[in-house]
Amino acid sequence: MCGIAGFWHPSRPGFEPEGMLRAMGQAMRHRGPDSQGEWYDSDAGLGLSHVRLAILDLSPTGHQPMFSPDERYILAYNGEIYNFHTIRKELEEAGYAPEQGWRGTSDTEVLLAACMAWGVEGALTRSVGMFALALWDRRERVLSLARDRMGIKPLYYGLAGENLVFGSELKPILRHPAMERRVDRNALTQYLRYLYVPAPSCIFQGLRQLPPGTILRIRASDLDANIIPEPQAYWSVAQAVRQGLANPTRHEDVRQASEELESILQDAVNLRMIADVPLGAFLSGGIDSSTVAALMQAGSSRPVKTFSIGSHVAEYNEAEHARDVAERLGTDHTELYVSEDEARQV
């Protein structure tokens, strides 16, 4: 987990921008304890802040915000592109690899190169992963905000006075001096009804959640008019369903269909196990987490680390089921119990 945040005020902000970016980063430091970076475009009045949890390429070559080789584009990105090796190979074969060679082995550098080669939409349609990003085009003065297909990674945005503000969560946005903490009563109603605020609503007036599978492109002229354009979809769950219905599995034999499903799931899990740090899995003992842990163990040469949180209230406790699954799979299992007092303290 990393975190991104930033602001844009084409007429110049009425505060010290570098200090504001540092404050935004500190507000989300829990999302990225490995490094923090800020960048400010004094000509445009746009700033980016990033905190990093290093998963791929632990060296400084993965530091963000990241510049393209020609310094036209600057990327701040939270997430993982699981198929970045495939995209990197495609870039190389198409002649889009950096002329001076790759600086490191991070998926961030590959994503940035893909945006340069094919545009944001072209890069994201090729990407398998979870992400929220902010890409600044210094030449065209266009800011692109985008979110993954299923909305795994969060991204909030909106206007605070004449400023565009955005971030992985609300805490860094609330550090901006022009941000007023006025509760949106419609969003509050949604929260009381659903116990969460569904996208694109936000609990604060003036802010929205970027919908999953969309790209928001903002120009200086939009801010001059004090408006934000509507996000544009690059992926649709409805279209994916239609494609699936139009191309159903042709296996009449249940065993063959099951084997194909297992192969697809194994490939998906293997992609997500590419990392330069140790990996583990949360295990509840239910069907979903048990399946993921089993496929991780099948793709690993050593016991996979699994973790379970138990409750002392029997009807809420799933730790015993998780322990049975861990023993069956032979994982390196860790079990912790949380008391009511500890929950209240947190």
Cα(75)–Cα(115) distance, rounded to whole angstroms?
Answer: 10
CA atoms within 13 Å, Cβ hemisphere of 66:
28
Amino acid identity of 46? L
Buried b or exposed e, range 247-264, using 16+ CB within 10 angstroms: eeeeeeeeeeeeeeeeee
Tell me whether strands 129-137 and 305-311 are parallel, antiparallel or unpaired.
Answer: unpaired
Note whether 146 and 215 are within 8 A (CB). yes
Whether a cis peptide bond, with omega within 30° of 0, leads into 211 is no
DSSP category for residue 249: -
Token reading at 15: 């505060």
Please give the positions annotated as active site: 2
* β-strand pairing of 156-160 with 207-209: antiparallel
The rounded distance, in Å, linking the Cα atoms of 346 and 16 is 34
- DSSP code for 276: S
Secondary structure letter of residue 63 according to DSSP: -
Report the C-alpha gap between 120 and 199 in whole angstroms.
22
CA distances from 330 to 304, 321, 323, 334 (A): 8, 14, 10, 12
Using CA atoms, how far residue 154 sits from 133, 157, 197, 308, 319, in Å, is 10, 10, 12, 25, 29
